[in-house]
Structure 1
C-alpha cells in the first residue's frame, strides 16, 4: 500500500473497491453530498499491517445507531464483507452534519511495483 514498498493483496483490493463503491454510492444517492473525500492508508501496528479506508461526506448525515429502512441492504452487505475479512466498519454521523465511514482490516501485502 505504501508507494514503492508493497501492494495490497488482490483479495483486499476487491474488498476496498466494494466498500468504497457502496459508501460513495450512499454519499451521492442518499446523503445528497456535494463533496466526498476518500482516503486509503496502510499502517504497521507492530503486530500486523492494517488498511484503513475512510469516506467523508458533507451530506445530510444520519444517525448510524438507528435501524435502516427496509429494502436498503447496501451497508449490511458492506458490513458482512468487512466482517468476513476480519475488519470492522465505524460510522460517525448525525443528521445535518455529514458522515464519516472508516473501514479497517488486516492487510496481507506483497512486494510490488509502483506504476507511473
Structure 2
C-alpha cells in the first residue's frame, strides 16, 4: 500500500501532461518547457511556456496533432509567429504559437 501511495504523484503528473479540450481535440504539453500559465478560452486553451525556441514548440504540437489523426490544411509563418489549421472529419482546429521573448504562447482552438 505504501508503494502505491508513493507512486500516486507520479501517476497524477503523467495524466496532467495531456490537455483535453473536447472529445475530439486533445494535445500533449511540450515536455522541455515549463508551463507558467494555462487558461481556458471559449472552445480553446492558451498555454504559456518558459522556453525560448517557439519553432520547436510549434513543431512538437503540430506533430502531436497529426499523430492524433488531425490533417494540416493550412500553414502560415510570420516573424515570431506560426499558425496552422487542421481538420479531422468535419471537426476543425487552429494552432497558433507566438514567440514572446523567452516565453512561448500556444493557443489551440476548436471550430471556426
Which TM class, normalised by the smaller chain length? 0.3 to 0.5
Relative to its length, the structure with more strand (as a share) is 2
**Which structure would you say has the larger RCO, counting Cα contacts within 8 Å and 6 or more residues apart?**
1
